A and B are shown apart, each in its own frame.
With several copies, the nearest count.
Chain A
Amino acid sequence: MSKLSEDYTIDELMVVTLARQFTDADIMLNGTVSYIPVSAFMLARETHAPKLTWVAGAVGVDADPGYIVGNTLDPTMWKDCVMYLPQISDMWGYVHSNTLETFCIRGAQIDKYGNVNNSVIGKDYHRPKVRLPGSAGMGDMCSLHKKIYIWSTTHNPRTFVDKVDFLAAPGYLDGGDARAKLGLRNGPEVVVTDLCVMDFEPTSKRMRLKSVHRGVSAKQVQDETGFELVTPDHVLETPAPSVEEIELLRKKIDPKNMRKIEFRGSKTKV
């Protein structure tokens, strides 16, 4: 292991932290505006998980565009792949049958059981206060037995809410065995934000603080969260990236800093 980095930024920490979740056995799809997870997949491949498979834009199997050129859903990212996965027959077949088991999502609202909403803000779906873009693949992935990795660049009480206004993507629903009772396997595993890392308490399925990023306190995280987090007595600091990881990310994987696009609207400066 190389030396720890001392000058990393939050976007970089998020990428590295997410990358470390994945192993050689993982096959990762990505959707739109997903610079952080895509950077994480590419980084994991370059470091501890050389056999990890990234299906670029859910199309290009084992693609290798060299670096993040632009838009994560664009064919530019399919370069040097071994296969173009036809979406309906192949991609959705592999997802639906759970041959592909993992997915990363984010959203405008995330609640204490890992339910996610990117459709509307407000209680009337048909006359919303804010019309958001829509659920895209989240509603699919969360109901089709995926292990879900949630990322968010806006850890604040507007995003982390007690209950989502609209239940687009089912996490653990009302907690406990509610998800399993519906026949849904897996569910949210980890939440990586601009402040901390969280997981889910195994019995209640409530979101739980796991580690705080350098310079952030557990109290700050709680203050920026719209519900009571399960918080252990001793909260660790999120492990720092290595110099090697940071170099790879800055120089090889995302030299155009596309990942920073995701911090538009975030209080966190990157």
Chain B
Amino acid sequence: MAAGKENKVMSAAQAVGMIRDGDTVAIQGMGTQMSPLALVREIIKARKRNLIAAMIVGGIGLDWLIAAGCVKKVMAIIVNLDEFGMANAFRRAVEAGELMMEEYTEHQMLTRFSAGCYGLPFMTTQSGIGSAIVDLHPDTTKVIDCPFTGQKVIACRALTPDVCILHAHRADEVGNVQFFPKPIWGDVDVFPRASKKVIVTVEEIVSTDEIRRTPERTGLPYFKVDAVVPVKYGAHPCSLFPRYNFDRQVMERYAAESRTPEGTQAFLEKYVRAPRTQEDYLDLVGGSTMEARIQSFWS
């Protein structure tokens, strides 16, 4: 089913209304890069429950969602804060038996999403042969024989999340979404195409005529996009290459405060729940000081 060609610009709160409790949500982002964190904060404020988070790399946003009690299961290849260390809420929740971690190799996970993109029941990889990872989930990865050569391959069952959330550079009102450069990382590439609904936050809304000037930068056509939400610094404290870097100061603060459950909740209260708007949030993390801090190495 294709999305229509209508004005899809809405607020983050409206967009998050598309997510139902129990949904499987594909969340774009690496440890410190290109994650839709303004939407993540909105999901926490909306008190969504029992979500299944599907990611490649679970980072700070996933840890917030877990700490806020929104997530019952994670599907990913790694969950951490990159050089800032462990994702402590994740770690504590799994160790306490409160959160299920369904771990895959990277290419298994990407292949599950790719099959989802094609509407195929499964696609193949050889990644994970010899690893115990393939035995963790017999319902979604299974070693089968090639019908031509007899070689072992792993069938990876299609994953079609209910909703994908992502952050991009810009879009027009109907949802033609542009990236600079075009999607390189696997999550940006397959997450939205595999998902039933797609919510995109963007740094700016531009006209369709402006999009037509650089069609090579469009990564998602309007017919695959359900909501467009303008959010300046929508990935903060993660980076949006090449526009801004991740915010080392905020990442370090969270890494330190999340060492205890109390510190984690205090951080969530202050940085996620208290700010009423994205502007409040940006002021809280330093306003123009923050802007100077995350100035791109590329600019």
Contact = CB atoms under 8 A, between A and B. Distances in A.
In-complex A–B contact (CB below 8 Å): yes
B78 A135 contact: yes
**Chain B interface size range:** 35 or more
Contact of B239 (A74, A83, A182): A74
A31 B90 CA distance: 21
A169 B78 CA distance: 13
Interface string A113-153: 00000010000011111110111110110111000000000
A94 B106 CA distance: 14
Interface string B58-84: 000000000000000000111110110
Contact of A61 (B30, B130, B221): B221
B86 interface: yes
B105 to A, nearest CB: 4
Interface in A82-97: 82-90, 92-97
Contacts of B186: 87-88, 92
Contacts of B224: 94, 99
Nearest to B117: A93
Nearest to B125: A96
6 contacts: A73-B82, A74-B33, A85-B184, A126-B97, A143-B126, A168-B133
A32 interface: yes
Contact of A135 (B77, B95, B151, B181): B77
B250 interface: no
B32 A81 contact: no
B13 interface: no
A87 to B, nearest CB: 4
A219 to B, nearest CB: 33
B292 interface: no
Interface in B1-44: 1-2, 4-5, 30-33
B133 A135 contact: yes
B249 interface: no
A79 interface: yes
Interface stretch (B46-54, B208-216, B262-270): B208-216
B293 interface: no
Interface string B175-198: 010000101111001100100000
Contacts of B298: 75-76, 79
A53 interface: yes
A179 B130 contact: yes
B200 interface: no
B241 A75 contact: yes
Nearest to A173: B130
B82 A76 contact: no
A106 to B, nearest CB: 13
A253 interface: no
A136 B246 contact: no
- Taking chain A's interface residues, is the majority helix, strand, or loop, or is none over half, making it mixed? loop
Nearest to A125: B136
**Chain A interface size range:** 35 or more
Contacts of B190: 88
A172 to B, nearest CB: 10
Contact of B129 (A94, A131, A143): A143
A143 B128 contact: yes
Contacts of A89: 117, 189, 193
B215 A84 contact: yes
B107 A140 contact: yes
Given A82-B176, A82-B211, A98 B119 contact: yes
Given A140-B107, A179-B130, 9 more contacts: A53-B5, A71-B83, A83-B219, A86-B184, A99-B1, A136-B77, A140-B108, A142-B130, A183-B152
B258 interface: no
A60 B2 CA distance: 17
B131 A83 contact: no
A221 interface: no
B227 interface: no
A182 B143 CA distance: 12
Contacts of B117: 89, 93, 97
Contacts of B106: 92, 136-137, 139-140
Nearest to A118: B78
B285 to A, nearest CB: 18
